[in-house]
Structure 1
Amino acid sequence: MFVRPAEIADEKLLWAMLYEASYAHENGIDSPDQLRDVPKLAHYVEGWGAPGDLGVVGGFDGVPLGAAWLRLFGPADPAYGYIDADTPELAIGVAPESRGTGLGTALMTALLEAARDKYDAVCLSVRHGNPAYRLYRRLGFVDVDDSEMTNLAGTTSITMVLRFR
């Protein structure tokens, strides 16, 4: 397994991992390229490499199969798990064939370690029933009270936050 910092050249992979993470296929979206037409999701990746962007890519045998990244959003264009303009929101996606291999944990651990020195906290949005919820709790994320919202798939998501200080 490898994990490395994400680069601008990884934008295509980030779109693919956003497709996995968002369950877009359940909403009739057939490919990662179609996410560009969904503004609420597109801003997680569009223009990757902006100030404040931070991410990691990982996989096996030199093949990238997952990514975890974070971005800052403002109140005028918040993301699903928005808390405030100083708290970046994290997104993570792992290719289906690599789920359950420890890749997601490795990506999250590396990204949170890198974020610890730059930010006071990190937030994310997760669907009720998503198995990754247990990983987030194990890493120290806690639920944000009254943060339930309807996501793109029409199910309920909750915002979680990890405070470093």
Structure 2
Amino acid sequence: MSAFRIRPANGDDARILADMLVEAANGNSPRVRPRVAVLDDPHVMRYIAGWKRPGDFGCIAEDAHGAAVGACWARLFPANAPGSGFVAVGVPELTLGVNAQWRARGVGRALLQELGRAAAATGAARLSLSVDRRNFAQRLYVSEGYVTVESRLTADTMVRAVR
């Protein structure tokens, strides 16, 4: 396993989160969407717009040189403007993005576990997410205790109790 470290995400990390949001959006796509196409989509941008607002938390994985290689963060959404993985008011919805060269090297799992610890520290009882069924990350989520609570055409909404 290559060396990486995880640190808390802070208010200056919006660009890193944008980079990892692009990675997440292209994670399982046979056709890579350009950065501008991903970040021009208001449905996608709501996951990072105004970072870091009250209730936001997350973590960043960095390589041995301090370059970001992954990020996992959570945000609360209101019922009248829900995210794709919205299950209820007060349940943070997470996003996980890992640089393609760092996938399948333990980064995603480490970030997901660290986010779970951060969620517990905020007092959250559950975390939710939305994942395309074709995305290999779905297996990671299942192995970390996430269960499907709703299925749509190509994606599942998953939830895990925070320990």
Same fold, TM exceeding 0.5?
Answer: yes
Q: Could you tell me how far apart the structure 2 residues matched to 1:137 and 1:68 are?
A: 16
The equivalent position to 1:77 in structure 2, one of 75, 81, 84, is 81
Q: Could you tell me how far apart the structure 1 residues matched to 2:30 and 2:93 are?
A: 23
Q: Which residue matches 1:59?
A: 62
Following superposition, the deviation at residue 139 of structure 1 comes to 1.1
**What is the Cα-based RMSD across aligned positions, in Å?**
1.8
AA matched with 1:101: R
SS in 2 for 1:57: strand
Asked if 2 retains the 8 angstrom alpha-carbon contact of 1:57 and 1:67, the reply is yes
The equivalent position to 2:38 in structure 1, one of 15, 20, 35, is 35
Residue by residue, what CA displacement relative to the aligned partner does 1:79-131 show, whole Å, maximum 9, x if unpaired? 11010111010000000010111111111111111101320100000111211
SS in 2 for 1:117: helix
Is 1:128 the counterpart of 2:133? The answer is yes
Following superposition, the deviation at residue 135 of structure 1 comes to 1.2
The equivalent position to 1:5 in structure 2, one of 1, 5, 8, is 8
Percent identity between matched residues is: 36
Q: Which residue matches 1:139?
A: 144
Following superposition, the deviation at residue 28 of structure 1 comes to 7.2
SS in 1 for 2:13: helix
Q: Could you tell me how far apart the structure 1 residues matched to 2:160 and 2:73 are?
A: 15
Q: Which residue matches 2:114?
A: 110
Residue by residue, what CA displacement relative to the aligned partner does 1:29-61 show, whole Å, maximum 9, x if unpaired? 411x44342111110001011000000000211
Q: Which residue matches 1:44?
A: 47
Asked if 1 retains the 8 angstrom alpha-carbon contact of 2:25 and 2:38, the reply is no
Asked if 2 retains the 8 angstrom alpha-carbon contact of 1:81 and 1:159, the reply is yes
TM-score, normalised via structure 1 length: 0.88
Unpaired runs of 5+ residues, structure 2, are: none
TM-score, normalised via structure 2 length: 0.89
Runs of 4+ in 1 over 3 A off after TM superposition: 24-29, 33-36
Count of aligned residue pairs for this structure pair: 157
